[in-house]
Amino acid sequence: MNFKILASIGAYTLFVGRIARCIPKLPKRWQELIIQLKRIGFDSIFLITITSIFTGLVVAVQIIYQGGNFIPKNMFSVIIGKANMIELAPVLTGLVLTGKVGASIAAEIGTMRVSEQIDALQSMSISPEEFLYLPRISAGIISAPLLTIYANLISIISGWFFTWLKFGIRFATFFNDMRIYFVSFDLFGGIIKSILFGFIITSLACFFGDKTTGGAEGVGHSTMQTVVYSSVGVLVLDFLVAVLMMANYL
């Protein structure tokens, strides 16, 4: 079992290495990149919006429930902002993209593999790493941080809205208190996480899709593997990046 895990890690590393060698050719595939940016980024906005709205509301509810009696009200905005920027927005955006984008890419690539479309590309001397995988991974790396910034905005505004309903905290007061305690590290730390999440989700989706065998059943299996391993990868990376970035505070 351990050997199989090591072999899979090695195969994934070699797969990513082959794609990395194609990076200089990315400008030639700008049209495909734009298509993938639309599919991964723009088409995910509605789902990210819904997720972020309720994330912000839940954070506000939990803060009021757990600390409403001893946390000053002017600190609510600070806690809501920091919790969303460095942790909740990037992680939940990554998990949403895992289910929506990762599964979609794996199913698409897997179907192309079992129907021999990828073999047809190779027979025409078209590299699937350059034509199929690189634009999708690049789009994931670009889209994930942009969606995370958008998720931050929506979730923080949602958190303010709940505190306004509960305590009448005005918009200007809420965000002024947040500005006083704002640290750029919180925002950029979350963005760094989201870039890594975008990479791991799309690269694993392409990897498992490329390894698909066995027809429709194999496509389903590859999709399941993508969702499971990408979700675990997002959570593991979240911990590792947090430890590295906050080493001076631990």
pLDDT tens digits along 197-227:
999 999 999 999 999 988 889 999 999 999 9
| CB contact at 8 A, 137 and 203 | yes
Tokens 């999440």 belong to 197
What is the average per-residue pLDDT within 162-170?
A: 90
d(CA 22, CA 18): 7
Tell whether the torsion through CA atoms of 201, 202, 205 and 210 is positive or negative.
Answer: negative
**Where does residue 247 rank: exposed (0-12), middle (13-18), buried (19+ CB within 10 A)?**
exposed
Q: What percent of the chain has pLDDT above 90?
A: 74
Q: What six digits make up the tokens of 211?
A: 């390894």
What is the average per-residue pLDDT within 163-175?
A: 90
Q: Is the per-residue pLDDT at 112 higher than 70?
A: yes
**Structure confidence at residue 71 (pLDDT):** 81
Q: What six digits make up the tokens of 210?
A: 């490329």
Q: Is the per-residue pLDDT at 248 higher than 90?
A: no
